[in-house]
Structures are given as C-alpha cells and as structure tokens.
Chains A and B, each alone.
Chain A
C-alpha cells in the first residue's frame, strides 16, 4: 500500500542499478536526513543529543569500519578498540602540534595513522585466516593498549595518563571542549558520519568493494579471476582502520572530552563486533541498526521505570537491563541470524507486496 511501486519505471541502466531504486526509499532517506540535521538539533534535549545521538553516531561509524573488514571482506577482527585509540591519540597529538589547524581536518587526517597501523597488523591476514586471524588482531589490541599506557609522549606526559581535549574552533565556532554546545558537536559528528557513510557506500558498490566481497565469498576463485589478495585484504584493513580511527577521534573529541586507555579496551572491540553481528554482516544499514540496538536500548530501558513512576534501585535496573539485553540478543539472533538489517529487508519486502502474501 505505502510501498506501491506501480508506475515507477526505470528507463536507464543507471536508474536500475541505483542504491535506492524505489522512490519511497529515496524519500525516506531524505526524511531521515531532514530529521537528523534539522529536527533533532532544534528539538532534542541536551541529554538526548549528548548521551544518545552522539555516541550512537560514533559507534555506528565504528561499526561501519568493522563491517568493511568483517562483513564485506570476511576477516574477523578484535582490534577495533585499539584502532579507534590510534585515531584518538593521533588526533590529540596533531592538534597539540597544530593548534590553529581546523580540528575537523585533523580528525579526518588522524584516520590515516590508524589506517597505517591497521595495515601493519593486517599483514598476517595474507597467510592466516579465521580464528587464527582473530588471535593476531587481538594481539594488535593488546599491543596498542600497552602502547597507550607505556608511551607517555602519546598523552603529552599528563600526570593522569589521560588525553584531555583542548578547546578548538572550526569556522569561528567552538566545536570541542566543554564550551562547545551539544548541538554543534552533534552536527559536526553527524556531518562526518554521513559523509564517510556516503564514501564507503560508493566504495562498496564499486570495483574495490566487489573485490572485497569476492575475497570473502571464495578467496581462491577471486584470485583466479584476477583479484589480488594482497591489495584487496590490505585495502580492506586500511579503509576499515581509517573509519575506526576517525570514529575513535570523534568519540574522544566530540563525546567524552577526555579519555584513558580504558575507553579503547578490548570490551569496546567486542561491543562493536556485537553491533556488526547483530545489525547484519555486510550491511551499512545494519551498522546503524546494531549501534542503535546496543547503545540506545539500554538507555531507554534504564529510563523506563522512572518514566512509569516506579521506584526501583538504580543497581536493580542495571541488572535487569543486562538480562533483557542479553535475552534480546539471543532472541534476535535465533529469529534472524543475518541480523537486524535482514529483518528490515524482509519487512520491506512484505510491505512491497502487501496486502498480498507474495
């Protein structure tokens, strides 16, 4: 009914192979962008923007980064937390040396450091696969955590061992530090996330993305067809780590404001891997859905008893929260092992043919 495609004709190959071939989908995308860029900054409360939207976008970006590696190229990695850290620490060092440079540019640059580190730790992937690769990426995670603690130069010899975000301006507006308003920070994060998602989407639908997916589906066949595993795998590691690095820098500069190594520990690697698996391997929408599920749902559950006027201890709510989220993850994976993105696709398909069953 809503999703009726009758009357939408495709008259060129370009239209036929568009990412959103259906008119309603295109309208929906514009609607989401309108909500994200206009409605939320105008009407969202500080708490909603600061504690829900900004982290959601940051984690969604990190999930996209890991999805490139795990979902599209089939290389499981547990080093995402570490790569995010590389981005954050290099953005911090860059802005220490170039305080006058636009911070947004520096954050986009910091991803290249993460990409370099990611490529180095991606080298073993040319020889080893599957669980063995998980172990080597885990080693990357531990090594990077060690480096963040043991190399005081990285945090400018702060006594606390933490990186504290200095106040920086971009285009004459304060965008980082405590004086930056949540709305400004949100808009910066949103713009970067939308921009990078667009780039990644183009990469995936192009030659490079296709070579990644060929490697994932059958590496020997891909090699015989002419895809060079060295290029494909290392470029996947590079792009994935670049995105993760930018996400890490965004996390510290626009959300946390200060970070210790704790913010980049292996738990975060797992968290993002869960987002990717739950959202859907090899799906950009899935990265957003997974991040929303893992990050926003607990906050909503935590706020529910108070909104209903029930007086429950904060710690009890937290325990219930863990149980509900755990159960939901299991339930969702049983219902649809391909993640929320697949559920979304099925729902869309049902809507397209509704009211007929097929």
Chain B
C-alpha cells in the first residue's frame, strides 16, 4: 500500500514538474541551436555549442532573459550532416524558432531557400553563402560580422602589408574540398589578377583530412611564398603538422577563422609555433560578460563545458559572439516592435537594424571583443574587420590590428554572385532598400 502511495506521489510530482516546465516554456524566446557534439567535427562543434548556450543561460540567470523574457535554447544534434540538419530544422521550426544558426555551410545552403517561406531568418555567422550579404537579394539571410570574401581580402591585405607587398609572389591555398573551402576561390582568383600574384590550389578531400602528405609534397615542390588555409576539424592540426614537417615557415602560413582554434593547435603544441590565423572574436576571459558567465553559469554547474578552462578559448568565444549577435538582435526587435514576445519576422527586422557599436559592446561588458557590427538593409554581412592571432606554442596571441576588408571590390563581386544565385529562381523574394 505504502509503495503504491509512494509511486503515485512520484508520478504526481513528475506530472507537476512537467506542467511547470511547459508553462514556463510558453513565455520564452525560443532559439534552436543546431549543434554537433558527435561526428567527425565534434571537436569544433562542442565549444561553439557551449559558448552559444552559456551566454543565454547567463542572460537568463543575471537579467532574467532579454527584455524580461527568458530565452530557451534547444539543441538539436546534426553531426555536421546536412540531412540531419534539415531534419532538425523541420523538427524545431514549428515551436516559434526566432533564428537558425546552422554552423555548417552545407546546412546553411539548404536553409536559405526555406527561410523566406517559413519566415525565420538564418544567421550564418562568418560562414555559409558569401553572396547572402547582399541584403536586397537575401532579405532573410545574414552573415555577420563578415563574409568569407571579406575575410580573404583582409588576409591578402595583411600579406600585402608584409615585406615588399604581394606583387609577384606565389600564394598557396589549401582548402577542404567541399562548398565551404571552395567558397573564397572566385575572390582569390580575381585578386590574383588585380594585384599581380599567382595562386596555387591544394584541395584536401574530407576523407584525406588526416593524411595530407601528398598535398604537402606538392607544396614543397611549388614553394609558395605564403600559404592560406580554409580548413575545419581534423584537417587543421594535420596541415600545421605537415607544414612543420616540410619546414615550411609557419609565420607565413595563415588559417582562416575556422582554422585557428585551440583544439586545432593544442595537439600540435610547440611544433606549431608561429602559425597565424584570422579571428573575429577575442580570446580569454578578461571581459566582464565572460566573468559573468563563469560566475552565473559555469561555477553554478549550469554549463556543459568539461572544464572551467574551456571558457575563453577561441571557438567558445566564437559561439558566444554568435549568441551576443542573436541576443542584441532580439533586443533590437523588441525595441522596434514594442513587443516582448517577438516572431521570426520581427527577428529579421532586429537583425537588419542591428547596431553593435563600440559603446554598446562596452555596455555589454565586451569592450574590444569584436569589431563593431553596423548592419543595414543593404548590408547583411557588415564587412567587419578581422585581426590575426599567432600560436606561441601554448596559446593564441593577437598580433595585428583590425584589418578592414576591401569592401568596394568585395561588394561588387558579392552583388554579381547574388544575381547569379537568384537568376534561375523565379519568384525569389527580394526587398527594396533606400539609399
């Protein structure tokens, strides 16, 4: 009898918690997080997902959410697989999703045509389709703080500023042979023509990420003056190791912002000393906002990070920057519409009118964390600046000032690419922008 009563009580208690759970879920801003904590890219996916989730948990704990409404972050596991990503999208879009951050170029490409139909914006932060930065043609897609093409132009600018300019030099480009890696090639070819340097390309297939000896043999043969890398996951560490093996000068080897994480260089250690990588978010925990994350989330045991020291690493901070952009866009949308509970359409407005100025960053406790992001109807990529960081054998050290991209040239090419993208799509939704 007693046992029955006890079971009954437990069931009742469980039902009650369930009810509480669903009641609070109604009044919250729903942000799905397409994460990948499994699969070949989990090493990169985990810190990104942690940074993203922890910032929102911190906002919920410290401020009670955004504008008084708590934020619910629901993770859906994609394994960096485009098919599972679409499945996650279908499973979560009906729950009032405000914005999608796919963290995979493959998934982004799948979601771009769906965004205007379901009226949920896509924020591919520093990845995805570069052409989507053209706001008139892609009203529902955003890629702050900069596109791959912006980034490539910044890197070329940096090389140009080093010993005697880039003219007449040979640039090697090693890239993951998927959509992501091929994305910057048109710009690179164009810049080569205009600035008078030659480009040698070294594609690395997904299956040979961890065996690049043949590519690096070619690098040795070609002897490029500089190497640029568009890598991801296990490819990065392997490339740096191989470069060190053939004694390629690592301070002339620049990775993009997905090729410069702690997880990439820690296995290489001292051998990777001197390797350069672009970045858009500062490292370390010396920011009031990150201190708050440590205080309210990590130390309170509400984070999924394995170790306290994971906070402040490159990709953790990158995920957090993504969350900051989303949170600020929600806030902007709330201010613009006067509503507390916003929809995907309001969110689009918020993203489009995002003004993450230096002052605002300071208010958020993130002074100098990233270059300001000033968005507009026309500009969905913002053309933000990047900086370079260097691996000193143990950690990343920032070594350059902010390098703005070659906006004029990039913008012109982006518009061409956007035209091309929508050329064969009748009824593609565009928008008019003033000025």
Size category, B interface: 35 or more
Are the CB atoms of B426 and A167 closer together than 8 Å?
A: yes
Q: Does A204 contact B (CB under 8 A)?
A: no
- Checking B91, B177, B206, B304 against A313 with a beta-carbon cut-off of 8 angstroms, the contacting residue is B304
Are the C-beta atoms of A161 and B179 separated by less than 8 Å?
Answer: yes
Beta-carbon nearest neighbor of B109 in chain A: A258
A109 to B177, alpha carbons, bound, how many Å? 30
Is the CB of A206 closer than 8 A to any CB of chain B? no
Question: A160 touching B75 by the CB < 8 A rule?
Answer: no
- Pairwise interchain contact A166-B425, C-beta atoms closer than 8 A: yes
Within 82-120 of B, Cβ neighbours of A (below 8 Å) are at 82-83, 86-87, 90-91, 94, 105-106, 109-110, 113-114, 116-117
**A161-B75 in contact given A51-B86, A166-B425 (Cβ < 8 Å):** no
Instruction: Indicate with 1 or 0, residue by residue over B387-423, a CB within 8 angstroms of chain A CB atoms.
Output: 0000000000000000000000000000001000100
Question: Is chain B's interface secondary structure helix, strand, loop, or mixed overall?
Answer: helix
Cβ–Cβ < 8 Å partners of B206 in chain A: 262, 265
- Closest Cβ of chain B to A269, distance in Å, is 13
Q: In angstroms, how far is the closest chain A Cβ from the Cβ of B249? A: 30
Q: Are B178 and A262 in contact (CB under 8 A)?
A: yes
Residue among B83, B117, B186, B304 with most chain A CB within 10 A = B83
Tell me the smallest distance from the CB of B114 to a CB of chain A, in Å.
Answer: 5
Interface string of A31-62 (1 = CB under 8 A from B): 00000000000000111001100010000000
**CB-based nearest B residue for A321:** B77
| A315, B77: Cβ atoms closer than 8 Å | yes
A318–B83 touching, CB < 8 Å = no
Q: Is the CB of A167 within 8 A of B129?
A: no
Report whether A315 and B38 are in contact in the complex, using a CB–CB cutoff of 8 Å.
yes
Nearest CB in chain B to that of A318: its residue:
B77
- Does B18 touch A at the CB level, under 8 Å? yes
Question: A262 and B91: CB pair below 8 A?
Answer: no
Question: Of A45, A178, A319, which contacts B113 at CB under 8 A?
Answer: A178
A102: chain B residues within 8 A (beta carbon): none
Interchain CB contact under 8 A, A258 and B113: yes
Closest to A48 in B: B90
Closest Cβ of chain B: how far from A316's Cβ, in Å?
A: 9
Q: Which residues of A contact B114 (CB under 8 A)?
A: 178, 257
Residue B339 lies at the interface, judged by CB distance under 8 Å to chain A: no
Is B318 engaged at the interface, CB distance under 8 Å to the other chain?
no
Q: Count A-B contacts at CB 8 Å.
A: 107
- A202 CB-CB contact with B under 8 Å: no
Measured between beta carbons, the chain A residues less than 8 angstroms from B18 are 309
A46 to B95, CA, bound (A): 13
CA distance A317 to B110 in the complex (A): 24
B37 touches A160 (CB 8 A): no
Contact, CB under 8 Å: B183 / A159: yes
Q: Which one, B86, B116, B117, B203, contacts A256 given CB within 8 A?
A: B86
Instruction: Using A178-B116, A260-B178, A262-B206 as known contacts, say yes or no to A162 and B37 having CB atoms under 8 A apart.
Output: no
Contact partners of A218 in chain B: CB under 8 A: none
Residue B424 at the chain A interface, CB threshold 8 Å: yes
A257 near B178 with CB under 8 A, answer no
Within 8 A of B (CB), among A146-198: 149, 159-162, 164, 166-167, 177-179
Q: A160-B129, A178-B117 are in contact. Are A257 and B21 (CB under 8 A)?
A: no
Query: Is A263 an interface residue when CB atoms closer than 8 A count as contact?
Result: yes
* Contact A317 B182, beta carbon cutoff 8 Å: no
- Contact yes or no, B179 A319, CB < 8 A: no
Quick check: A262 and B185 within 8 Å, CB to CB?
Answer: no
Given contacts A159-B182, A159-B183, contact A318 B90 (CB under 8 A): no
Cβ of A123 within 8 Å of any chain B Cβ, yes or no, is no
B427 at the interface (CB under 8 A from A): yes
- How many Å lie between the Cα of A75 and that of B50 in the bound state? 47
- Which residues from chain B contact A255 at a C-beta distance below 8 Å? 86
Identify which of A51, A161, A259, A317 contacts B77 (C-beta below 8 A): A317
Q: How far is the CA of A47 from the CA of B178 in the complex (A)?
A: 28
Query: Contact string, B119-142, partner A, CB cutoff 8 A, digits 1/0?
Result: 000000000011100000000000
Contact of A177 (CB < 8 Å), options: B113, B177, B421: B113
Which B residue sits closest to A177, measured CB to CB? B113
CB of A160 within 8 A of CB of B105, answer yes
Question: A160-B179, A314-B35, A318-B79 are known contacts; what are 5 more A-B pairs with Cβ within 8 Å?
Answer: A50-B90, A51-B90, A99-B424, A167-B427, A314-B76
- Mind listing 21 A-B residue pairs with CB under 8 Å? A51-B90, A99-B424, A159-B417, A160-B109, A161-B179, A166-B425, A167-B425, A167-B426, A167-B427, A257-B113, A260-B106, A261-B178, A262-B81, A263-B83, A299-B87, A303-B91, A309-B18, A315-B35, A315-B77, A317-B77, A318-B37
